Each structure stands twice: as C-alpha cells, then as structure tokens.
Structure 1
Amino acid sequence: MKKIFYLLMIISLASCCKDKTGKTEEGTKNPVVVDSNNINVSILIDLSDRIDPKTNPNPTMEYFQRDTEYIKAIEKGFLNHIKSKKIITYEDQMQVFFNPEPLDPKMNELTKELKVSFDKNTPRNYFDQVDKKYSELPTTIYQSAIKDGNYVGSDIWEFFKNKVKD
C-alpha cells in the first residue's frame, strides 16, 4: 500500500475548554461560563516523496495540489466557525507543522506564519490576513520541497501517536 493511504494530514480537533471557577465577593465558588466551541486545529504536512510529480504522477490532480486544496478547505471551515461565534468567546487556534522538521530555516519560518490564534482582542482584518497566508504559504512550502527534492515526513503515524500522548 503506497505511503499509508497517501495521508496528507491528520487533523486534531480538541476542545480548548478548561475547568475554570471564579469566586464571588462572598467567597463562594461560581463556575465561569466557558464556550466549549473553541477549537484547536493542527495540520500535519507530509513532505515525503509522495508529493513529487515526477516520482508519483497523478493524472487527476498532483498530490501537492490536492494537499493545498485540503489545507485551504480546513482554513475556510475554521474561519467560518470563528465568524459564527460571538467575539468575546474567541479562543481558537490553528497551526501547521511537519515531521521531521525541514532543515531549511525558511520553511520553518513559513510554518510559524501559519500559526494563528483568535481571542476577544482579535481585529476583524485579521481574518483577511489569515486567509491570504493560507492561500499562499502552503503552496510555497510544497513547491520549495519539490524543487529541492529533499523530502521529509515519511513516518507520520509515529509522530501523531506521540503528539496525542502529550
């Protein structure tokens, strides 16, 4: 079976809800209302040789193009989720990472730009900035990996199992 179902990414959605309590002036505890709709999305990019259009051509759509479309779809769903909430309840984040990390520091800097967080102080124009980053940077990352020919990320399952334990 070719590269374990050609796994592009593993998405981990987890509630950011924490057990919080507050005290009134009388000293009694009252639960603080926390929005359980807060999400944390992590996208694991597979930059293994499966994305090489010469080694693994795909007549329908190249794997790296399909991957970037999946990432865009996740980003759109994430932003739509946040836009449907009240601003005061924002506590959501999304990030992209690799396993293993590429040796090229430029690639690691690009993934840092893809780590986004929303809280009650997030300005409205931040949505457009996030949309622009997620429309451009994943393609840049994939094209750079293909151009360099230095592929990484072939053992995603072990990495994911370790991340879930953390």
Structure 2
Amino acid sequence: MAYLRTAISALAISIGICGASLVHAEPSAVDPAGDASSSGQNSATCSEDWKACKDNADLMNNYSKAIDARVTCQMEAEQGAKFGTPVFPSVWSGGSFHSFLNGSDYPKKGYAILIENNAQFQNQYGAMVHSTVFCKYNFKSGKVDEIHVEPH
C-alpha cells in the first residue's frame, strides 16, 4: 500500500495535484423518488453537467457520463499494452476504474484521475503481472490525456 501511495503522489505531482488521497467509489443509493441520497439536490444538476458537481465523489458517483470515463480509460489502457491483452475486473465484479482521488478539483479543472488497482498486464516473458493503472480523463474533450501503468 505504501508503494501505491508513492505512485499516486508521484502522479499527482506530475499533473499538479498536492495532498492527494484515494477514494473508492461505491454506487450511490437512490431513493424511490429518484434523488441520490448522498448528495441531495445538487446531484440532479450534477447528473447532467460535470461542472455543477460539488466534489470529486459527487462527479464520479452521480454524473451520467462518468461511465464513459471508466470505459474510455480501460480501452486506452488495452490499446497501449505492449504485450498481449490486459485483464481488468469484469462487469460482474463491479468493473474497472472505480477508484479516484479525494477532493473537489475534478469539477473545477475538468479532468479526473481514475485508478484501477486490479489490472494484469503481460510482460515480455508472457507472464501476467498485477498492476495499477492511472488514467487522466479530460471531461472537456471526452478523451484520455494520460495513462500510466505501475507493476506491483
């Protein structure tokens, strides 16, 4: 875990985020009326416009296109693999890229750092290596700006 914190800190410094900490997103509970219970009325606006989200967790849990960021990050990581096809958590186990940095800068800056701790990438010898993937997703462009893979 200390290695992961060091890697997150190094990535955070390289993109200008200080004091970064990791959050794992859980699907937000929705009441029968359709309002997200964790964020009140802000979530209704946040679900349509990422700039209206109050913080990183609100954006990643309630913005309707946050799934696009997760899927795009996985696709870019797969395309960038040097050897073979990487393995990511399946949809049945919750999918990939559900961890992100704590704070409130994503809605302000327009990008998010998504993290997948349970990826496996093939090395030059054919062995699958457990890896953490860091993905910088730009909500303004709808594209990945940067992918970084750290073997465990």
TM-score normalised by L of structure 1: 0.24
Greater helix fraction, Structure 1 or Structure 2: 1
User: Which one has the bigger strand percentage?
Assistant: 2
**Rg larger for:** 1
TM-score by length of 2: 0.26
